[in-house]
Copies of this chain bind each other. A is one copy, B any other.
Amino acid sequence: MLNESNPRAVKKFQQDREYFQIGVSIDCVILGYEKGKLKVLLIECKLKEYEGLWSLLGDILQPEEDIDEASYRILKDRTGLDDVFLEQVQTFGSVKRHPGGRVITVGYYSLINIRDHQLKLSDNILHWHLVNELKEMAFDHNKILDTTLCKLRTRIMEEPIIFNLLPKKFSLRELQSVYEAILGSKLDRRNFRKKIFLTDWLIDLNEFETDVTHRPGKLYAFNFQKFLQK
């Protein structure tokens, strides 16, 4: 915040363009889940300083948009997705983090269901990357991703956000696998089921998996109604 106790500073702020020579960007950590693995959506970095590296999806904040709006816009532009889960991680503001000048970036993360929008990906040079097998990324994006994953691991234990990674109908095995992929550890199946049913997060659809080569599991849906009420 502008130093309000100092009228000179306020005046300077209003008149002097020097105070504005800092760029503000938004970077979105867009996470998806497929075949037992957590994935992140990246774009090839076109800056010569980072040739051959990938980066998170980001853009400059526009003068007339809130930072939350900006993150939605970026996600919409890149994936065509509306109405998704998106949450701020934190802001990264090292002086040298962008070779093109002083740019601080606000990190956001989003959890999306990969299958819902495979089509849109061909519009951009975007690819899903396995989170566990990522090498060096452009800028400080490894750090942003690591910070996001830390936050995500605690958040999924508190809030029912993980359902954003799954299709509308899913089996308990799929749900458990997503937890395991994010937490990076195996969970006991019986204890998991017990705990999940205690939450009242699920609607029993009384449907079953098809096209599986074993006994089909029951399908569930996330009880969205209940969480809109809160």
- Name A's B-contacting residues (CB within 8 A): 1-7, 9-10, 13-14, 17-27, 43-47, 50, 55-56, 58-61, 63-68, 70, 88, 90-95, 98, 100-106, 124-125, 138-139, 141
A13 engages B43 (CB within 8 Å): no
A1's contact among B14, B18, B98, by CB below 8 Å, is which?
Answer: B98
Asked whether A47 lies within 8 Å of B4 as measured between CB atoms, the reply is: yes
Are B104 and A67 in contact, with the CB atoms below 8 A? yes
Inter-chain CA distance A4–B2, complex, in Å, is 30
A50 to B17 Cα, complex, angstroms: 24
Q: Which B residues are CB-close (under 8 A) to A43? A: 4-5
- The answer to whether A2 and B103 touch across the interface, beta carbons within 8 angstroms, is yes
What residues on B are CB-neighbors of A88 within 8 Å? 90-91
**A47, B10: Cβ atoms under 8 Å?**
yes
CA distance A129 to B139 in the complex (A): 41
Closest CB-CB distance, A149 to chain B, in whole Å?
Answer: 17
Pick from B47, B98, B104: contact of A24, CB under 8 Å: B104
Add 10 more A-B contacts to A4-B46, A14-B100, A65-B95 (CB < 8 A).
A4-B44, A4-B138, A5-B44, A5-B45, A13-B101, A22-B24, A22-B61, A22-B63, A61-B93, A63-B102
Residues A98 and B59 in contact in the complex (CB < 8 Å), given A24-B22, A24-B104: no
Chain copies in complex: 2
Q: How far is the CA of A3 from the CA of B94 in the complex (A)?
A: 18
Contacts of A26 in B (CB 8 A): 1
Residue of B nearest to A3 (CB): B59
Residues of B within 8 A of A103 (CB): 1-2, 13
- By beta carbon, the residue of chain B nearest A70 is B93
Contact A59 B100, beta carbon cutoff 8 Å: no
Q: B1 and A55: CB pair below 8 A?
A: yes
A49 to chain B, nearest CB (A): 10
Task: Tell which of B13, B23, B59, B125 touches A60, judged by Cβ atoms closer than 8 Å.
Answer: B13
A4 to B59 alpha-carbon distance, docked (Å): 8
Q: How far is the CB of A227 from chain B (nearest CB, A)?
A: 19
Q: How far is the CA of A103 from the CA of B24 in the complex (A)?
A: 10
* Interface pair B46/A7, CB less than 8 Å apart: yes
